[in-house]
Amino acid sequence: MTLFERLAEAIEREERAVLLTVVEGEPLGAHVLVLESGERLGDGVPEAVVGSAAELIRSHRNRIVEADGVRVFAEVFAPPPRLLVYGAVDTAEALCAAARLLGWRTIVADARARFATRERLPSADELIVDWPAEAIAQVAPDHATAVVVLTHDEKFDIPALEGALATDAFYVGALGSRTTQQRRRERLLARGMPEEALDRISGPCGLDIGAGSQPETALSILAEIVATRAGRAGGPLGASTHRIHAEG
């Protein structure tokens, strides 16, 4: 199988990979393809760059890398990010509908089978009826997964947050008033969760856009998730000194 055929296959199978191309210097146009599994095809790219492939894949950012006097373009291939919502409430459907607009994969989990139904959640790509720990183990959130906890019920919210914080999820959010957040924080601390792990929770989740309806709430939460993934705070572009678009 040629490098290009393997790349087409990786895209088709949604495997994570990085294609390294020498764009300045010699050998000009040389390619190396590295898959997340470590599989490697091609040659001619400095070892210093090939060695950083895992890190490049994880950054999900296309960019130029320089080494040994040559410039190498690193192009990252990855499936779309995933959104796991624990709590099959109305906001979960609005959140899934909005996330699908972005091309993301959506998963909704709830232990209550009456809530987690196809009729109530037509926009979820996947439905899981299970308790938080089991549902999170099944989904196995990674660095490209956002988790939002929406049940409004501590017997689900607490273990769901505990489970999510034990993963690499790039975003962990929870709905609820400031009073709820404070009480939840105390409960999690009492169960032995370290303070710095709790700081990862965005709660009440979402950006301050004055959301009222369910779709507006979904927009607010999703906007915060996108900003977190891009490493941005989420203010008005007019007041920003950053580049307008995310890098890569």
Q: Where are the beta strands (DSSP E) in 78-227?
A: 82-86, 105-110, 126-129, 145-149, 171-174, 201-202
Taking the C-alpha atoms of residue 155 and residue 205, their distance in angstroms, rounded to an integer, is 19
Of 18-26, 81-89, 137-145, 164-172: span binding other proteins (CB under 8 A): 18-26
Of 62-70, 91-99, 117-125, 210-218: span binding other proteins (CB under 8 A): 62-70
| Contacts of other proteins in 19-38 (CB under 8 A) | 21, 23-24, 28-29, 31
Q: Where are the beta strands (DSSP E) in the chain?
A: 17-24, 31-35, 40-42, 63-67, 70-77, 82-86, 105-110, 126-129, 145-149, 171-174, 201-202
| Encoded tokens for 191 | 């169960």
Q: Which is nearer to other proteins, 11 or 189 (CB)?
A: 11
Q: Which DSSP helix (H) or strand (E) runs through 162? A: helix 154-165
Q: Which is nearer to other proteins, 30 or 148 (CB)?
A: 30
Residue 64 C-beta: closest distance to other proteins, Å: 5
Residue 247 C-beta: closest distance to other proteins, Å: 7
Among 36, 58, 59, 62, binds other proteins (CB under 8 A): 62
* Cis before 27? omega within 30: yes
Token match 């906007």: residue?
Answer: 223
| Contacts of other proteins in 94-153 (CB under 8 A) | none
Q: Which is nearer to other proteins, 56 or 147 (CB)?
A: 56
Q: Which residues, in sequence order, are CB contacts of 92 under 8 Å at separation 6+? A: 85, 108, 121, 124, 150
- 59 touching other proteins, by CB under 8 A: no
Q: Which is nearer to other proteins, 77 or 170 (CB)?
A: 77
Binding site for other proteins (CB under 8 A): 2-4, 7-8, 11, 21, 23-24, 28-29, 31, 62-64, 73, 75-77, 243-248
